[in-house]
């Protein structure tokens, strides 16, 4: 019994020691975890403090560098100013030579526009160095997107010269004509030069012709350079009034298109230069359309009616009238051709005598010889129309109304007064226009 009792006591004490050891181990582990967590927070705090210190130190160093750079640039500019006038045109152009892609965009734009402004302030004194800059072909892109799209240094130099509007600047611009990059630039140069003096017209014409010929040589198909070619024709015919160029186009039949079509824009532009000399070419265009069984374009009659005394012109108008199938269309065509224009005494047209029973016609003091001659020429043509449409009662009445107005215009009677229309005439014209 004693032995059993001793064994139980020994087992109890052994278990007690084991339990105590486990408890101590758990306490030790918990304490270690708390210690580690505390240590990590402390280390993190120290790192954050050190990072802030480093950032502050870095900012201080950068500020010192910026101050040093500012002092250096100020000193450099002071020294440079002793040797160079900051607005000297040669110095400004030399600064433009130094600007290239190695300089960041903002700095390049800022410095370039500073130099350009300085050159503008120099006026004609800036022209020699500017000329050298243009001859050397130095160029780069400038961009101020908030103000206008991307441009180049060359374009800005041209704009600077254009803004000067004087003979020396125009002389330099005239040397840029052969190097114009497109039709828009050519037009701008020509307009500027002509605004200074008409003496530049021959130079503009030669340069524009060369560009036009080059575009024609480069044309590979029907669409290539089409827009630029049209623009160049407009420059030569409308802006520069190049008669020789217009005659050349007409002789080449440049107005001729496939399948009986004609280039109305080209003929109208050529008319501005050739005036009555355009009639034979319009007649040729009419024959071309008839040969291809095409309806005669109305604009041909519109040009021809200005020169109705010319046999070919009257034939164009008459054939155009005969080609209209609808009777009402023929009536309106006649009304559109005759005396509605203000060449025949202001308010003598159908628009006015529809709305007014009495119209303010021209009197002797404003009926010049040219207007009288035009009225008589149209009166002769009315006789041809009356013969052609002798069986059309409505046409004959319409012609009588127009004849009355033309006879009044052609009259040299000082007391002829106003040309009047009655209500029945007004209703007759209104009825035709409603058909």
Residue-wise pLDDT tens digits, 7-19: 555 555 556 666 7
147: exposed, middle or buried (Cβ count in 10 Å: 0-12, 13-18, 19+): exposed
Distance CA 112, CA 108 (A): 6
Whether the Cβ atoms of residue 350 and residue 340 lie closer than 8 Å to each other: yes
pLDDT digits (tens, 9 = 90+) for 387-409: 999 899 999 999 999 898 888 88
| pLDDT for position 95 | 85
| pLDDT for position 356 | 42
pLDDT exceeds 90 at position 244? yes
Distance CA 404, CA 421 (A): 10
pLDDT classification of 366: cutoffs 50, 70, 90 = very low
pLDDT digits (tens, 9 = 90+) for 99-120: 876 677 778 888 888 888 888 8
Backbone angles phi, psi at 104, to 5 degrees: -65, 155
405: exposed, middle or buried (Cβ count in 10 Å: 0-12, 13-18, 19+): buried
Packed helices 89-98 and 105-122: angle between N→C axes, nearest 10 degrees: 160
Backbone angles phi, psi at 378, to 5 degrees: -75, -30
pLDDT exceeds 60 at position 160? yes
| pLDDT for position 266 | 95
pLDDT exceeds 50 at position 355? no
The position carrying tokens 């004849």 is 403
Distance CA 113, CA 120 (A): 10
Side-chain half-sphere of 422: how many Cα atoms within 13 Å? 2
More confident residue, 386 or 111: 386
Q: Would you give the distance in Å from CA 396 to the centre of its chain?
A: 49
pLDDT digits (tens, 9 = 90+) for 257-301: 988 899 999 999 999 999 999 999 999 999 999 999 888 898 999
The pair of three-digit structure tokens given for residue 50, joined into one six-digit string: 């050190």
CA distances 375 to 304, 369, 399, Å, are 15, 10, 14
Packed helices 127-136 and 153-164: angle between N→C axes, nearest 10 degrees: 150
Q: What angle do CA 113, 147, 92 make, to 5 degrees?
A: 5
Side-chain half-sphere of 287: how many Cα atoms within 13 Å? 10
Residue 176 in 3-state DSSP?
coil
Residue 149 in 3-state DSSP?
strand
pLDDT exceeds 70 at position 150? no
Using left for φ > 0, alpha for ψ between -120 and 50, and beta otherwise, residue 236 falls in alpha
Helices marked H in 219-362 = 226-234, 243-251, 264-274, 279-291, 298-304, 311-322, 327-337, 350-355
More confident residue, 222 or 412: 412
Integer-rounded Cα radius of gyration of the chain:
45
| pLDDT for position 73 | 59
């Amino acid at each position: 019994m004693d032995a059993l009792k001793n064994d139980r006591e020994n087992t109890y004490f052994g278990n007690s020691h084991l339990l105590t050891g486990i408890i101590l181990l758990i306490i030790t582990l918990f304490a270690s975890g708390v210690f580690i967590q505390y240590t990590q927070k402390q280390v993190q705090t120290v790192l954050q403090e050190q990072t802030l210190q480093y950032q502050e130190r870095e900012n201080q160093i950068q500020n010192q560098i910026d101050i040093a750079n500012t002092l250096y640039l100020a000193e450099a500019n002071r020294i440079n100013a002793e040797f160079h006038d900051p607005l000297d045109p040669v110095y400004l152009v030399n600064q433009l030579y130094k600007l290239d892609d190695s300089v960041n965009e903002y700095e390049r734009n800022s410095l370039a526009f500073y130099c350009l402004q300085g050159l503008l302030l120099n006026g004609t004194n800036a022209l020699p160095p500017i000329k050298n800059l243009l001859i050397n072909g130095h160029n780069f892109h400038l961009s101020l997107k908030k103000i206008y799209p991307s441009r180049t240094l060359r374009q800005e130099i041209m704009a600077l010269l254009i803004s000067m509007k004087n003979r020396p600047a125009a002389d330099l611009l005239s040397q840029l004509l052969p190097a114009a990059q497109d039709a828009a630039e050519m037009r701008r140069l020509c307009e500027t030069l002509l605004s200074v003096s008409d003496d530049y017209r021959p130079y503009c014409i030669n340069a524009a012709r060369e560009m036009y010929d080059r575009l024609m040589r480069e044309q590979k198909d029907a669409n290539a350079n089409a827009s630029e070619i049209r623009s160049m024709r407009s420059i030569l015919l409308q802006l520069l009034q190049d008669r020789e160029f217009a005659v050349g186009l007409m002789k080449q039949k440049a107005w001729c298109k496939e399948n009986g079509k004609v280039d109305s824009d080209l003929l109208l532009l050529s008319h501005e230069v050739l005036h009555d000399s355009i009639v034979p070419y319009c007649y040729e265009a009419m024959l071309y359309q008839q040969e291809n069984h095409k309806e005669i374009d109305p604009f041909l009659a519109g040009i021809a009616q200005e020169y109705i005394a010319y046999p070919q012109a009257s034939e164009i108008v008459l054939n155009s009238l005969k080609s209209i199938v609808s009777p009402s269309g023929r009536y309106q065509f006649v009304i559109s051709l005759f005396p509605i224009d203000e060449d025949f005494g202001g308010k003598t047209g159908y628009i006015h005598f529809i709305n007014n029973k009495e119209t303010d016609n021209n009197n002797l003091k404003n009926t010049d010889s040219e207007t009288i001659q035009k009225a008589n020429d149209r009166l002769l043509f009315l006789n041809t129309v009356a013969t052609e449409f002798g069986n059309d009662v409505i046409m004959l009445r319409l012609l009588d109304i127009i004849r009355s107005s033309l006879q009044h215009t052609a009259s040299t009677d000082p007391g002829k007064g106003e040309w009047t229309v009655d209500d029945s005439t007004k209703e007759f014209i209104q009825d035709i226009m409603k058909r």
